[in-house]
Amino acid sequence: MAGRRSSRLKTRATSAAPSGSAEMDVDSQDVAYSESDNEPLTKTLKSRKRKIHADESFSPKVDEHRAKKVRGRRGILKQLTEMPLDILFEIFGQLNPLDVLHLSRTTKALRGILMRRSAVSVWKQTCANISGFPPCPEDLTEPQFVNLAFGRQCHFCLRSTGTQIISWEERVRTCLKCIDTHFTIGNYAYQHISGIPDKVVACIPVTRISRASGRRQKLFCYRCDETINRFIEEYSAQKDDPQAVTEWISAKEKERAARLEHVKLCEKWVSEQNEDRLRELEVARDRRKDLIIEKLSELGWGDEIAKGQNRRRLSEHNLVTQKKELTDRVWNNMKDQLVAFMGALKAARLREDRKAMLKKRQHLIKQVRSDYVATCAVNEVIPPASDFYLFPPLRHIVDDTPVEDEVTLETFHEVINLIPELTADWKVQTCEKLMGMIEEATKKDEPQVDIPQPNLNLATTVFRCNKYECTQTRPLFYPAVLMHACASEYTYIYAMEDDEDLVDFSANCRLRPWNAGKVISFWTAASQTAVELVELCGRDPKTTTVQEMDCTNPIFECENCRSDRQGRLMMTWKRGLTHTCAFSAPAGHKLTLPDEETQAKVRLRMAEEVHRKRARLGDRSLCCVHCHLRGDSVSLRKHMADAHEKTQMTSSDVVPYMDVDHEPDNYYLWTPVYV
Residue 477 near residue 483, CB atoms below 8 Å: no
Largest Cα span, the chain: 147
> Is pLDDT above 70 for 57?
no
What are the CA-CA distances from residue 297 to residues 258, 300, 335, 341 (Å)? 59, 5, 12, 14
Lowest mean pLDDT among 61-75, 252-266, 415-429, 513-527: 61-75
Confidence (pLDDT) at 271: 93
pLDDT in tens, 170-193: 999 999 899 989 998 876 555 677
d(CA 174, CA 169): 13
d(CA 121, CA 101): 14
Q: Which residues of 656-675 are buried (b: 16+ CB within 10 A; e: fewer)?
A: ebbebbebbebbebeeeeee
Name the residue among 549, 528, 554 with its Cα closest to residue 452: 528
Lowest mean pLDDT among 227-231, 407-411, 582-586: 582-586
562, HSE (Cβ side, Cα atoms, 13 Å): 15
> Is pLDDT above 50 for 405?
yes
> Is pLDDT above 50 for 455?
yes
Name the residue among 464, 466, 442, 470 with its Cα closest to residue 517: 466
Name the residue among 406, 674, 427 with its Cα closest to residue 563: 674
Residue 204 near residue 259, CB atoms below 8 Å: no
Q: How many CB atoms lie within 10 A of CB 391?
A: 21
Average pLDDT over residues 595-601: 92
> Is pLDDT above 50 for 52?
no
What are the CA-CA distances from residue 1 to residues 13, 85, 112 (Å)? 19, 10, 20
Return the domain boundaries, the chain.
78-151, 358-522
Residue 133 neighbours by CB under 8 Å, 6+ apart:
97, 127, 149, 269
Confidence (pLDDT) at 64: 44
Return the bridge partners of 630, or none: 623
Identify the burial level of 181 via C-beta atoms within 10 angstroms of its C-beta, where 0-12 means exposed, 13-18 middle and 19 or more buried: exposed
Residue 104 neighbours by CB under 8 Å, 6+ apart:
31, 110, 111, 114, 115, 143
Confidence (pLDDT) at 496: 55
d(CA 52, CA 259): 56
Q: Which residues of 412-448 are buried (b: 16+ CB within 10 A; e: fewer)?
A: beebeeebeebbeebeeebeeebeebbeebbeebeee
Return the bridge partners of 222, or none: 185, 207
DSSP-derived secondary structure letter, 204? S
Question: First CA to last CA across the chain, in angstroms?
Answer: 138
pLDDT in tens, 574-592: 999 988 886 665 556 789 9
Binning pLDDT at 50, 70 and 90, where does residue 440 land? confident
Binning pLDDT at 50, 70 and 90, where does residue 80 land? confident
Q: Which helix (H) or strand (E) holds 13?
A: helix 2-14
3-state secondary structure of 531: helix
Return the bridge partners of 338, or none: none
Name the residue among 479, 492, 483, 642 with its Cα closest to residue 546: 479
Alpha helix stretches (DSSP H) within 306-327 = 310-315
> Is pLDDT above 80 for 104?
yes
Amino acid at the residue 129? N
d(CA 122, CA 96): 10
Binning pLDDT at 50, 70 and 90, where does residue 267 land? very high
What are the CA-CA distances from residue 127 to residues 25, 95, 130, 146, 621 (Å)? 25, 9, 6, 8, 87
3-state secondary structure of 141: coil
Residue 564 near residue 663, CB atoms below 8 Å: no
Residue 99 neighbours by CB under 8 Å, 6+ apart:
126
d(CA 491, CA 503): 11
d(CA 675, CA 672): 6
> Is pLDDT above 70 for 538?
yes
Binning pLDDT at 50, 70 and 90, where does residue 23 land? very low
Residue 459 neighbours by CB under 8 Å, 6+ apart:
477, 530, 534, 541, 544, 545, 546, 548, 549, 573
Lowest mean pLDDT among 262-266, 321-325, 428-432, 561-565: 561-565
**Beta pairing class for 622-624 and 630-631:** antiparallel
Average pLDDT over residues 268-286: 93
> Is pLDDT above 80 for 48?
no
> Is pLDDT above 70 for 639?
yes
Rg, C-alpha atoms of the chain: 48
pLDDT in tens, 120-176: 999 999 999 999 999 999 999 999 999 999 999 999 999 988 888 999 999 999 998
Average pLDDT over residues 507-513: 87
